[in-house]
Amino acid sequence: MKYIITITLLFFSLNIFAQKPCDYSANVNDSIGTYRSTKEYIVNEKVFGGNSSYIFYSLALTDGLPTLTVQLIQKSKDFIKANCFDKNSKLFLQLNNGKIITLIHIDQENCGTLIHDEKGFDNRINSGIFMFMKDSFQELKSSPVSMMRIKYLTDTEDYVFKKEFKSELTNEIYNPENYFIDNLKCIE
């Protein structure tokens, strides 16, 4: 009887600690090269009054080069200032263990796109691609992220990461603190 209980407990514990499978939006391997990208994941969401902003992450591996794509979406009836990415832009991740990881923007200037919708809202969409520094993977895989700082061309903004939140946009639960712990394995 003890043997059956032990096997049952072992089976359930394996299911609890099993890693989530990688969810890709693209996984291409052809004569030109390889490209693998994870689906977009909300890491920050602010909804207040008529204004809302969202930050999405996705990881990509292009011919062996790992990158992080950061997409910022803002929606407002008021003026939305343009935060531009340039060759000097950086993304800083403060980990719960106190260490700071720096990611460097690719050499491509981008101020985003402003779209006016039929309800009178202005929507600004801006994307930046950041490269990982050497030896930053181990730290990101072992410690949750508590804060993110983005250095734009003319401004710097800080974002606090929550352990867990329910998105008003998708009505799903997200765990931004553990994004890298859960997803870096998908591009290694």
Provide the whole-model pTM.
0.84
Does 100 fall in a domain?
yes
Does 7 fall in a domain?
no
**In terms of DSSP H, where are the helices of the chain?**
2-17, 137-142, 179-183
pLDDT band at 9 (very low <50, low <70, confident <90, very high): very low
Does 67 fall in a domain?
yes
Could you read off the pLDDT of 104-162 as tens digits, one per residue?
Answer: 999 889 999 999 888 888 999 999 999 998 888 889 999 999 999 999 999 999 999 99
Question: Residue range 49-57: average pLDDT?
Answer: 92
Strand, helix or coil at 141?
helix
Boundaries of domain holding 90: 20-187
Question: Residue range 164-185: average pLDDT?
Answer: 94
Does 11 fall in a domain?
no
Q: How many domains does the chain have?
A: 1
* Average of per-residue pLDDT values in the chain: 87
Question: Residue range 75-88: average pLDDT?
Answer: 90
Does 9 fall in a domain?
no
